[in-house]
A and B are shown apart, each in its own frame.
Chain A
Amino acid sequence: MAKEFNVSSKAAAAAVGLELRELEDWNCCGSHPTHNIDELIAAGIAARNLRLAEKTGSPSLIAPCPSCYNRLKMTDYEMRRNEKFFEEVNNLLDEPYELGVNVRTILQAFYEEVKEEDIRSTVKVPLEGLKVACYYGCLITRPPEVTQFDDAENPISMDELIFHCGAEPVDFQYKVECCGGAFGIAPHIEFVLEKARDILEMAVDCKADVIAVACPLCQQNLDMREGQINSRYKTNYRIPVVYFTQLLGLSFGISYSKLMLNKHLVSSRKILSEKIKGFEKVAI
């Protein structure tokens, strides 16, 4: 699952000198179903990861999946502001977590750690002419008092990164709408299709060529459902849904297949080759 997010994040990060190290012996983040059943145990599971990260001496822990990010960040946040919770969670751990880690998303890491000029100087294949709808989803900026990143209602960090790579971010109105992904299983399918349809429709209305995402659940939910949506609503959407790290990687000269862009159900090859001058350099 989401292998292409992993691969493209690492490749794009390496290209701009952002060092990513995988956390050794990491475990599940404690996302649902755990946190639906026992908040304390869910926090304990997350806090174990935080402690492991703390021990490496790295100041920040990057969670590419927004749901993991949310659990880790939330646990850290609650432990910081609630002394009793701090003690209860640490009582579950072999080693106590001492609040020494800044949890961030991969988007945040790129936005805060990499300078604009470093991105611009790394770009080998400018994405000029490509119109991108940057879709952040519901979790990356929310809740704002916890995430303390970008604007919760009108985030611009991904737009800026994409812009530095030469692409044109469109004025996308559904940046932080819910994609319905969390309700993926019947009997909520009707609701999910409707939410996903709205996002695709808005992206097409905004004249976007591709939708860029930063969340595996959003990516899968939008990409995989286009067929279902088309048959359900008699539409004909064929808009590719790609990770923003894949677009960064492409502009840095990393090849289409290396970034695993060929893994998506709705192919982006045609539109990318049409829009991006010099696409042949990365077409393999």
Chain B
Amino acid sequence: MRIGVFICHCGSNIEGTVDCKKVAQEAYKFPFVIYSTDYAYMCSENGQELIIKAIKEHDLDRVVVASCSPKMHEPTFQRAIKRGGLNPYMFEMANIREHCSWIHTDTEDATEKAIDLVKKAVYKVAMNRELFSTTFEISKDVLVIGGGIAGIQAALDVAAGGHKIVLVEKDQTIGGKMAMLDKTFPTIDCSACILTPKMVDAASDENIELLAYSEIEDVSGYVGNFTVKIRKKATYVDWSKCTGCEQCVAKCPTRILDKFNQGISKTKAINKAFPQAIPNRVVIDGNACKFITEGKCGNCKKACPAGAVDFDMKDEIIERRVGAIIVAIGNDIFDASQYVEYGYGRYEDVVTTLQYERMMCASGPSQGHILRPSNHQEPKNVVFLSCVGSRDNSVGRPYCSSVCCMIMAKQAILTKEHMPDSTSYLFYIDVRATGKEYEEFIDRAREDYGALYIRGRVSRIFKRGDKLIVRGVNTLLGDQVDIEADLVVLSVGLTSSPGAAELAQKLNISYDSYGFLVEGHPKLKPVETNTAGIYLAGTCQGPKDIPASVAQGGAAAAKALSLLSKDKLESSPLVAFVNNSKCVGCFKCQKVCPYKAIEKVVLRDGREVANVVSSVCQGCGTCTVACPTGAIDLNGFSDKQLINELEGLFV
């Protein structure tokens, strides 16, 4: 046995606290260590060459690198020693950065700990054996969850690459939040005009199976072989017959709040979300429909010329097998009623930016005429408040929602265009306009459209007569200001989608304390997750605007395409295996396995024993602990390796 040890300085990251030279010297004292050295950046090309050269010159058969976390560079060094002619599993890493230099300050103690960590790795690598990957078949289909602009873009791009897509949308139409917008910044182009063609493309692409009004029930499997159960919620309308003529809607007597119009108008219990909805079909709200709740009415059924209404429809669970999953479930908006002092929910004339968007939209409830909800008169003074639910610890939202400043400026411009006599006041903390041509857009709002920016927060909104008084501070003048408003628009922040955490658990991916889904690496893996084969796009990962959502949708599609460009994937050899002679067939392992990777097999002598399906096993090691006879062991983390590692620490 001939072990080589390589200690990395990581610039001053490690060397600043750990005496790397000393660690390298001490390593010579450990058994079988033939060669030991230190170097500034072991992951650099020179560093890797140094390892390769040492393997050849000193005829090394095992390598230990002491540097950063294996999450960072284990694959890098494994590739290097493979180039040096060794099996990549004849390798161990000692993490002397995250586990040592970064968290300690005393050089002497830190050096001692680093020596121990290297010693542990040397004892473990002595017990390593060569391991080899196998390959497995994969499905070439892709699941996209969420039919907003990010999901649509991802679906179209993957479909263009020739793969089948299953596009699942929980609402009755695709289009997401973008479909609710009137205009988009910084070009003031019509949101529907640029979105609806993409929606139609998504619905008509023969590679895309669109499942609207559906939700993810369960996900099992692993990269290349996910099995997804999808709940198709009962629409009470047979969509294969419905033509979207809406004759039923006219006859329905039950009025409910219009979700698509953000509750500022009513729709019917049987309804289409909006005129350009895709699929162009109606849905019955089962909680509101008189026939479903009370057994009376049935007007829609009588009115439907296609005989599509089916009150007996039930939810249906269907199953699809896919190789990759793109999560694009979007965001929700902050509940502004948490700011009681702003009176949202108490004063009709206090609305959110998304409600105001519907008020301005030509396809909205007032055909694009801006009217005060309280008296249906045109407002004269419109006051905007930024950071409602953003950058405010008191409501548990310390983050910037990134789009609200721009939305507010856009709406101030549109307000002026709709009502040239109006005045817009905009309370702001900072104007965050970092995108391309964004700052110029803010300037235009101020200079060409007379938007009056007031730097400061609003402390209270109250009613006086039929006006709203907006009381805030002007921090530039150091003075209190009262503005008499006809309409107040709260530029609400972005929050995660309500079901995000639950879905993340089904998918086995991470989410943060706000419910946003966590990317694989904040800089280098912006669309990946920590689960192979699952990618993120759009605002489910964090607040972002339309251009960024579209870019991320495309990026997620590219990642999925490159994964699925192979016919087979290589599986990790770090899996569990059963020693048949020790197995007593108790199947405790089967009960604890989170991946359903253990099956029963019958041996020739008739004994029933456990078998690990290595393509499904994720190498978590739970079964090895559960096994009462020690029949199961885990490649790369065998009992022998771990015991020797521990022994090393105590000799």
Cα distance, A202 to B471, chains bound together (Å): 15
Number of residues from B at the complex interface, CB < 8 A: 11
Q: Are A151 and B463 in contact (CB under 8 A)?
A: no
Which A residues are in CB contact (< 8 Å) with B339? Answer: 153
A202 to chain B, nearest CB (A): 8
- A152 contact from B340, B463, B464, Cβ within 8 A: B340
Determine if A97 is an interface residue (Cβ-Cβ < 8 Å). Answer: no
Cα distance, A202 to B464, chains bound together (Å): 8
Q: Which of A135-174 contact B (CB under 8 A)?
A: 151-154, 171, 173-174
Question: Which residue of chain A has its CB nearest to the CB of B465?
Answer: A205
Which A residues are in CB contact (< 8 Å) with B346? Answer: 154
Q: Which of A52-98 contact B (CB under 8 A)?
A: none
Q: Are B341 and A153 in contact (CB under 8 A)?
A: yes
Question: Which residue of chain B has its CB nearest to the CB of A173?
Answer: B462
Number of A-B residue pairs with CB-CB distance less than 8 Å in the complex they form? 19
Q: Are B340 and A173 in contact (CB under 8 A)?
A: no
Q: Are B460 and A153 in contact (CB under 8 A)?
A: yes
B482 to chain A, nearest CB (A): 10
Question: Which residue of chain B has its CB nearest to the CB of A155?
Answer: B340
Q: Are A154 and B340 in contact (CB under 8 A)?
A: yes
Which A residues are in CB contact (< 8 Å) with B462? Answer: 173-174
Which of the four size classes fits the interface of chain A? under 10
Question: Which residue of chain A has its CB nearest to the CB of B343?
Answer: A154
Most buried by B among A152, A154, A171, A205: A154
The A interface, classified by DSSP as helix, strand, loop or mixed, is loop
- Binary contact readout B456-489 vs A (1 if CB under 8 angstroms, 0 otherwise): 0000101111000100000000000000000000
Question: Which residue of chain A has its CB nearest to the CB of B340?
Answer: A153
Which B residues are in CB contact (< 8 Å) with A173? Answer: 462-464, 469
Cα distance, A118 to B187, chains bound together (Å): 63
Question: Which residue of chain A has its CB nearest to the CB of B460?
Answer: A153
- Binary contact readout B95-122 vs A (1 if CB under 8 angstroms, 0 otherwise): 0000000000000000000000000000
Cα distance, A257 to B611, chains bound together (Å): 91
Which A residues are in CB contact (< 8 Å) with B341? Answer: 153-154
A51 to chain B, nearest CB (A): 33
Which B residues are in CB contact (< 8 Å) with A152? Answer: 340
Q: Which of A193-224 contact B (CB under 8 A)?
A: 202, 205
Q: Are B340 and A205 in contact (CB under 8 A)?
A: no
Q: Are B463 and A171 in contact (CB under 8 A)?
A: yes
- Binary contact readout A172-189 vs B (1 if CB under 8 angstroms, 0 otherwise): 011000000000000000
Which A residues are in CB contact (< 8 Å) with B469? Answer: 173
Cα distance, A12 to B409, chains bound together (Å): 55
Which A residues are in CB contact (< 8 Å) with B465? Answer: 205
Cα distance, A204 to B153, chains bound together (Å): 58
Cα distance, A247 to B151, chains bound together (Å): 61
Cα distance, A208 to B343, chains bound together (Å): 21
Cα distance, A152 to B459, chains bound together (Å): 12
Which B residues are in CB contact (< 8 Å) with A154? Answer: 340-341, 343, 346
Question: Which residue of chain A has its CB nearest to the CB of B471?
Answer: A177
Cα distance, A15 to B61, chains bound together (Å): 92
Q: What are 18 A-B pairs at a CB distance below 8 A?
A: A151-B340, A152-B340, A153-B339, A153-B340, A153-B341, A153-B460, A154-B340, A154-B341, A154-B343, A154-B346, A173-B462, A173-B463, A173-B464, A173-B469, A174-B462, A202-B464, A205-B464, A205-B465
Q: Which residues of B contact A (CB under 8 A)?
A: 339-341, 343, 346, 460, 462-465, 469
What are the 10 closest A-B residue pairs judged by CB atoms, nearest first? A173-B462, A153-B341, A153-B340, A154-B340, A151-B340, A173-B463, A205-B464, A173-B464, A174-B462, A171-B463
Extra A-B contacts (17), CB below 8 Å, given A151-B340, A173-B464: A152-B340, A153-B339, A153-B340, A153-B341, A153-B460, A154-B340, A154-B341, A154-B343, A154-B346, A171-B463, A173-B462, A173-B463, A173-B469, A174-B462, A202-B464, A205-B464, A205-B465
